[in-house]
Amino acid sequence: MNVYKWMTKDYWTPENNNTNKARPFHRADQYWSYLSNPNTYWYDNMAYFRLKNAVLSYNLPKSIITNIGLTNVNIFVSGYNLFLLYSKQRNYDPEVGNPQYYPAMKTISMGLKVNF
pLDDT one-digit tens code per residue, 51-107: 999 999 999 999 989 888 899 999 999 999 998 888 766 677 888 877 788 888 899
The rounded distance, in Å, linking the Cα atoms of 50 and 78 is 15
- The residues, any chain, with a CB within 8 Å of residue 34's CB and separated by 6 or more, are none
pTM of the model: 0.57
Q: What is the pLDDT of residue 31?
A: 52
In whole numbers, what is the pLDDT of the chain averaged over residues? Answer: 80
Q: What is the pLDDT of residue 108?
A: 97
Of the candidates 69, 55, 72, the one whose C-alpha atom is nearest the C-alpha of residue 108 is 55
pLDDT-derived band at 14, boundaries 50, 70, 90: confident
